[in-house]
Amino acid sequence: MSLPKIPLADWIDVLIKWMQEYFAPFFDFIQGIVTPTTDFFERILSVTPPFITILLLSLLVWLLSRFRIAVFSLIGLLLIYDLGLWETSVETIALVLTSTLISIIIGIPFGLWAGSSDRVKQIVTPILDFMQTMPAFVYLIPAVFFFALGAVPAVIASVVFAMPPTIRMTSLGLRQVSRELKEAADAFGATSWQRLVKVEIPLAKSTIMAGINQTIMLSLSMVVISSMIGAGGLGEIVLESISRLQVGLGFEAGLAIVVIAIVLDRVTQNLGNSKPVQTVQKGQKKKFPVRKWMSVVAVLVLIGLVISAYTDIGKQKEKVTLTYVSWESEIASTNVVKEVLEQQGYEVDLLETQATPMWQGVAQGDADAHVAGWLPVTAKIMAEQFKGQYEDLGANLKGARVGLVVPKYVKADSIAELNQYKDKFGGKIIGIDPGAGVMQSTEKLIRQYGLDYQLVNGSDATMTAELSKRIRNREWIVVVGWQPHWKFAEFDLKFLEDPQNVFSGEETIHTIARKGLKEDKPEVYQILDRFYWTTKDMEEVMLDIHKGMSPEKAAEKWVKNHPEKVKQWVGK
């Protein structure tokens, strides 16, 4: 006898939709707080040249901790700059500082409340247990639904994931203050507020700072994970290195994250250590208060940086946000569009994410456009899900194709023959990221053809790596593939025939823009509307990237070599 399944997933989906509809003003309010805060930290860290910013940060670390930690900070931050990761590191630090600040503002009052009330502690503890044991990736799902793409959902997910240590340790620190000291404070006539502020919190300081330290570390880890929803920063480089199997690039980004983590960890640990008050003996000369004056200078410098950061607002370039999924084809097309727009004087932000959030970001207005709408089959589900919330500018490339791909030496020519050769293929179809529309079409294909195969999730890079390995060994392999793609220039491949037409033959790639882009940024709209190239053009960029050129350099090279086509796009 089997129990009926509780429709928990359906209930959660209904709850999310209900909250989206009725709590929209609340989410807008949160976004209105998080966005300026993140922007504030980014401006402060970017207003001066990197060398000056690194020197100021190192001096600040010295002021807050010890000289050797300041020296490590100087060397570590200079290394980050030398690796070309300074701008992305600034984005990561801004996200961490924002999520930590919000966690402290919310967490410490809750911790004080839980520390002074047993009933509150009994209620809060299981909630904190739930928040800490839930897998971190799960928090990205509602964050995307409520806030779409970018820094805001990353910060919110980080706050939920990282705040519990602050609440727990604040509560613990308050409870560790001895009853005798509390009674002594009461005996001297202190009010409950005075006792809290002047006795309990100072004595619990080291424990509270330990909680804040853990919150910072968890925020950093969550911010890196949040690159999957377009948070940017070093996490985006880690995600790119994973999707493209670039070990060296991933190591560089990981090293930068380690440097930032060590600096933040040591500074907060030092702040939590109470320093003994040094008294001046009779006849002893009073030392010059270096740190006191450094603190005054630091405050004045901060005020100057704030003024400088916000006095050039009117001089900044108009910003355009493009989102894309980490497929070789979309990396090529998006970077080419970015290069063209930057040549026209725009500042272009790229948000790398998964397929569904990419469409959602444009539909909700968090991104201006994407050039990765594979239709009519691959992106059919996303196109229908967000129908009416975006503007389809038409095809930017024709003659694309999606299907199952095998090496030409494989005897099978049709999908209908796959079961016959199951042992040769190992019973597996090698796929890409599970959120891609082509993967959903392949799942439908497996059911429709009755294939006894497992669809293996991965990425564009893992798929091509496995394909390359099998071809070198002359082994059979079937992968989810599409054209244009550099692998067709690198290997002798063929599409398996699709008698039941699940993949619907030829595909076109469309440019999808947000509603209102034509009115807000007419020149950008016109460039995107005119953007059109061929499979040969795309494969030229993809092949350069595959051979080791960075996407930015490959796009710059293509734009330089095709001036006439670019002139058509920009209308000149």
Write out pLDDT tens, residues 480-507.
988 888 888 788 999 999 888 888 768 8
Number of other residues whose CB lies within 10 A of the CB of residue 491: 15
* Contact between 385 and 489 (Cβ < 8 Å): no
380, 418, 462, 556 from 245: Cα distances, Å: 29, 29, 7, 23
Alpha-carbon distance of 346 to 383, in angstroms, equals 28
User: pLDDT band for position 277 (50/70/90)?
Assistant: very low
**CA proximity to 306, closest of 46, 529, 20, 5:** 46
13, 134, 140, 357 from 19: Cα distances, Å: 10, 21, 16, 18
Number of other residues whose CB lies within 10 A of the CB of residue 348: 20
Alpha-carbon distance of 292 to 297, in angstroms, equals 9
Question: Residue 180 above 50 pLDDT?
Answer: yes
What CATH architecture is 325-571? 3-Layer(aba) Sandwich (3.40)
**CA proximity to 301, closest of 50, 103, 45:** 45
Q: Mean pLDDT, to the nearest integer, of 449-456?
A: 91
pLDDT of residue 273: 66
């010890």: which residue's tokens?
Answer: 66
Number of other residues whose CB lies within 10 A of the CB of residue 130: 10
- 152-170 exposure pattern, b = at least 16 Cβ within 10 A, e = fewer: bbbbbbbbbbbbbbbbbbb
Of 502 and 518, the one with more pLDDT = 518
* Contact between 181 and 190 (Cβ < 8 Å): no
Strand 454-456 and strand 428-430: pairing?
Answer: parallel
Question: Residue 394 above 60 pLDDT?
Answer: yes
The size of the chain, in residues, is 572
Alpha-carbon distance of 254 to 297, in angstroms, equals 34
Residue-wise pLDDT tens digits, 261-276: 999 888 888 876 655 4
Quick one: what percent of the chain has pLDDT higher than 70?
A: 92
DSSP secondary structure string, 441-476? Answer: HHHHHHHHHT---EEE---HHHHHHHHHHHHHTT--
Tokens found for residue 191? 């009010």
Q: Mean pLDDT, to the nearest integer, of 178-185?
A: 85
* Contact between 299 and 518 (Cβ < 8 Å): no
Domain ranges of the chain: 37-273+292-308, 325-571
Written as one letter, the residue type at 293 is: W
Lowest mean pLDDT among 4-18, 105-119, 132-146, 285-299: 285-299
Alpha-carbon distance of 106 to 356, in angstroms, equals 32
Lowest mean pLDDT among 65-69, 280-284, 347-351: 280-284
DSSP secondary structure string, 105-132? Answer: HHHHHHHHHHHH-HHHHHHHHHHHHHHH
pLDDT of residue 282: 53
pLDDT of residue 289: 54
Most confident of 384-388, 399-403, 511-515: 511-515
Tokens found for residue 129? 């247990």
Radius of gyration (C-alpha) of the chain in whole angstroms: 28
Residue-wise pLDDT tens digits, 253-263: 899 999 999 99
Q: Mean pLDDT, to the nearest integer, of 243-255?
A: 80
Q: How does the average pLDDT of the chain come out, rounded?
A: 85
Alpha-carbon distance of 35 to 102, in angstroms, equals 12
Residue-wise pLDDT tens digits, 533-559: 998 899 889 888 888 788 899 999 999
- Ranges of H-type helices in 476-532: 487-490, 517-520, 522-530
Angle at 342 (CA atoms; ends 341, 343), nearest 5 degrees: 90
User: In the chain, what is the greatest distance between 2 CA atoms, to the nearest angstrom?
Assistant: 99
Alpha-carbon distance of 150 to 143, in angstroms, equals 10
Sequence-distant (≥ 6) Cβ neighbours of residue 126 within 8 angstroms: none
Burial, 225: exposed, middle or buried (Cβ in 10 Å; 0-12, 13-18, 19+)?
A: buried
Strand 347-353 and strand 319-325: pairing?
Answer: parallel
**CA proximity to 529, closest of 505, 542, 511:** 511
User: pLDDT band for position 561 (50/70/90)?
Assistant: very high
pLDDT of residue 382: 87
pLDDT of residue 181: 86
Sequence-distant (≥ 6) Cβ neighbours of residue 295 within 8 angstroms: 63
Instruction: State how far Cα 463 lies from the chain centre.
Output: 23
DSSP H or E stretch at residue 412:
none
Phi-psi region of 560 (alpha: psi -120 to 50; beta: other; left: phi over 0): alpha
């410098």: which residue's tokens?
Answer: 301
pLDDT of residue 280: 47
Alpha-carbon distance of 475 to 467, in angstroms, equals 9
Number of other residues whose CB lies within 10 A of the CB of residue 385: 13
- 407 three-class SS: strand
Q: Mean pLDDT, to the nearest integer, of 157-179?
A: 91
Write down the CATH superfamily of domain 37-273+292-308. Answer: MetI-like (1.10.3720.10)
* Contact between 367 and 321 (Cβ < 8 Å): yes
- 250 three-class SS: helix
* Contact between 427 and 454 (Cβ < 8 Å): yes
Tokens found for residue 327? 């497929």
Alpha-carbon distance of 421 to 531, in angstroms, equals 43
Question: Residue 284 above 60 pLDDT?
Answer: no
Q: Strands of 384-492 (E only): list them.
A: 390-407, 428-430, 454-456, 479-483
Most confident of 41-45, 130-134, 338-342: 338-342
**CA proximity to 375, closest of 508, 550, 506, 466:** 508
Lowest mean pLDDT among 45-54, 169-178, 281-290: 281-290
